């Protein structure tokens, strides 16, 4: 199982719960604290790996997915948890760059991540 935004509170809790349930878990985040979440997840003894990647950067996520597949094998599930709301502002005050970043993280990245992992899931049924 792959969890994006895995260093945040919700992503960390999801990753730990999956590991506790017996899943192999891969974690992706940009946070310097990703190693803490990975260590807590790996403590349950199952396969666990992590990669720093910005979910809005296709090249970074592609490299992260390659490293994850090498470390623990095929990705069988995806939790598109990465998201943000820290740029939300009234329309008259919100800049186009901030708006685009919100869309990229919250909408485009989950779409692209799903596109990246779904073909191999379908292939393996």
Q: Is 30 exposed, middle or buried (0-12, 13-18, 19+ CB in 10 A)?
A: middle
Domain ranges of the chain: 2-123
Q: Is 40 exposed, middle or buried (0-12, 13-18, 19+ CB in 10 A)?
A: middle
109 HSE (CA, 13 A, CB side): 26
What is the CATH T-level fold of the domain 2-123, as seen in this structure?
A: Rossmann fold (3.40.50)
Tell me the average pLDDT across 57-81: 96
pLDDT value at residue 66? 97
Please check the confidence at residue 71 and state whether its pLDDT lies above 80. yes
pLDDT value at residue 88? 72
pLDDT value at residue 99? 87
Q: Is the pTM of this model over 0.85?
A: yes
Please check the confidence at residue 49 and state whether its pLDDT lies above 90. yes
Please check the confidence at residue 89 and state whether its pLDDT lies above 90. no
Q: Which two tokens stand for residue 34?
A: 């990703």
For the chain, give the mean pLDDT. Answer: 94
Residue 94 pLDDT level (bands cut at 50, 70, 90): confident
pLDDT value at residue 85? 81
């Amino acid at each position: 199982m792959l969890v994006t935004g895995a260093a945040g509170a919700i992503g960390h809790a999801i990753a730990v719960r999956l590991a506790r349930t017996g899943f192999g878990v891969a974690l992706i985040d940009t946070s310097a604290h990703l190693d803490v979440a990975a260590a807590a997840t790996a403590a349950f003894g199952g396969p666990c790996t992590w990669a720093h990647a910005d979910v809005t950067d296709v090249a970074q996520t592609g490299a992260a997915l390659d490293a994850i597949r090498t470390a623990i094998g095929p990705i069988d599930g995806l939790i598109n948890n990465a998201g943000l709301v820290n740029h939300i502002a009234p329309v008259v005050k919100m800049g186009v760059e901030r708006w685009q970043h919100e869309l990229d993280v919250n909408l485009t990245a989950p779409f692209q991540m799903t596109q990246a992992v779904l073909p191999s899931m379908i292939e393996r049924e």
